[in-house]
Amino acid sequence: MVVQRVLPSEEAEQLLALVRELARDELAPNAAAYEERAEFPRETIRLLGRSGLLGLAYPEEYGGGGMPYEVYLQVLEELASAWAAVALAVSVHTLSCYPVAGFGSEEQRKAHLPDMLGGELLGAYSLSEATSGSDAASLQARARRDGDSYVVSGTKAWVTHGGYADYYNVFCRTSEDARGGVSTLLVPADAAGLHPQPPERKMGLRSSATAQIVLDNVRVPAQRRIGDEGEGMRIALSALDGGRLGISAVATGLAQAALDAAVGWAKDRRQFGRPIADNQGVSFLLADMATGIEAARANYLAAARRRDAGLPYGPQAAMAKLFATDTAMKVTTDAVQVFGGYGYTTEYPVERYMREAKVMQIFEGTNQIQRLVIGRSLLA
């Protein structure tokens, strides 16, 4: 089903039409096979970059698309409705551009952003570690200043695009200060001593590469430090607000795909001499699925419009991420139920949608962390 959208400009409408065409012709026909092979679709992502989709939310003066965040997120949703792992790749890459765009010097922006936003380079965001996921401030990767360089050692975990990225935003400890001792380094993938590990074997999103990155005395020029020394946690947490909206949009697109599949099945599948859609139990289930998706979409768009207006939006981003990903989990599970036994087989895509939805309640901050963020904002 084509989602009826209210877009802010004719340019945005043309962009969404292009995205729907790419999703239909380039993404949807390939998603299942790539997921089955657990193969990272690097060339597909490069195609999206050449189509201008990897820098939509950033200024045109640096090679970006200059689009409002509300438009960028709807692009993500359309991509996710065809192939969630590719939409996630766009979201993570957009996140990986944020430290330079938001906190880099003008010299750094001019040097790095054109290739990042133009899609020739693919980025990764390396904050988590094996023992510091939700408690990001307890990270242990360290960078020691040595003349005009930093020497970095440690292991980063759960790195999306690990082993495929061209650069890594590495958050590492430069002092013992609990929160003010973390800095951000832009580390090229070909740096000596940077060793991607074999990708994780995951339940879903198998075509999205996730791996640990070992940094063994990696020497990084000090001019590749983003922001001031000790500013890393501020950069990381600021970036995650936008990233959570990205995941909200991806989850909404995935849920929409599950609903569309369930509606099509309910119309075609006949039991007791009539389509199962005629059964009130099924039609009510579909109605609840559709209502949840509309609410998730409205939620992330409201937060995005606050961001576009320059208003604080952190709690709203947490609400959007919480609601959209919980909705995606419920909708995809209900889609399997509509399909009955067939939904439990790999012959149909809804079982894959359900597996993909689960992790969205975990990454970019678990939904328990989102509740913590929301609760603190209410009690501040």
Q: Which residues are catalytic?
A: 364
Distance between CA atoms of 74 and 246, rounded to whole angstroms?
A: 9
Distance between CA atoms of 380 and 373, rounded to whole angstroms?
A: 11
> Under a CB-based contact definition with an 8 Å cutoff, are residues 96 and 87 in contact?
no
Find the helix packing angle between 280-308 and 69-82, rounded to 10°.
150
Alpha-helix runs per DSSP H in 269-313: 280-308
CA angle, 150 then 152 then 155, to 5°: 160
Distance between CA atoms of 319 and 373, rounded to whole angstroms?
A: 9
Distance between CA atoms of 187 and 170, rounded to whole angstroms?
A: 7
Tell the burial category of 250 from Cβ atoms under 10 Å away from its Cβ (0-12, 13-18, 19+).
buried
- Any idea of the CA torsion for 288, 289, 294, 295, to the nearest 10 degrees? 70
> Quick one: tokens of 115?
């290739």
Find the helix packing angle between 314-339 and 280-308, rounded to 10°.
160
Distance between CA atoms of 172 and 165, rounded to whole angstroms?
A: 18
- For the chain, the straight-line distance linking the first and the last C-alpha, in angstroms and rounded, comes to 42
Q: Rg of the chain over CA atoms, in angstroms?
A: 21
CA angle, 166 then 167 then 168, to 5°: 140
Cα dist from 296 to 13, 36, 249, 260, 277, whole Å: 21, 29, 8, 16, 24
